[in-house]
Amino acid sequence: MLSAQYKPYEIKVLEGQTQYEFVFSFTTDNNIDYIATFNKAEYRFNEECYQAFNVYDFSFYNVQNLGDFSDPRISSTIHKLLVYFMETNGHAIIYICDDADGKSEARDRLFKWWYRHFDNSQYQAYFTKIELPEYDTYVGIIALVGDSGFENYLRYLEIY
């Protein structure tokens, strides 16, 4: 059993879910509200990637835009959401950390830490840095082991 310090927060499914967008929320002990979304990501891949229908963008943010907080329960909650989404629906996820606010590298380190920290034996992942003219973008794709489209996700990814 997880100690209270690492116990995930209660996750709520928000109304209006569609096959293109799934939205969840949770509230921390400090009354900070978070929204987590999974949105269809087919547009991130070349049209030759016929499996791209299975990939969803993942993002989350605190509603109050209060900055960064060190709360291990947030990590546990995000991990729980990612596992639930991938295992329940069989979908892969992609995250994009652009550098519009100068924090992309820190976000990328956080996602990689989550991936390494939790049991990932059922998952395969690809992480890369894409150097664009204006800024660098960090990308991660995580899928269930055995996802037949994984190699094509990597081959046909288009970030610009």
pTM of this structure: 0.88
Residue carrying structure tokens 């094509």: 152
4-156: CATH, from 3.40.630, 1.10.287, 1.10.10, 3.30.750: 3.40.630
Check residue 123 and report its DSSP letter.
E
> Which tens digit of pLDDT belongs to each residue from 45-72?
999 999 999 999 999 888 987 766 678 8
> Which tens digit of pLDDT belongs to each residue from 131-155?
888 888 899 999 999 999 999 999 9
Helix or strand run (H / E) with residue 60: strand 55-62
Q: How many other CB atoms are found less than 10 A from the CB of residue 72?
A: 12
Euclidean distance between CA atoms 74 and 67, whole angstroms: 14
Domain ranges of the chain: 4-156
> Which tens digit of pLDDT belongs to each residue from 59-115?
988 898 776 667 889 888 998 999 899 989 899 999 988 777 777 888 888 888 878
The amino acid at 43? Y
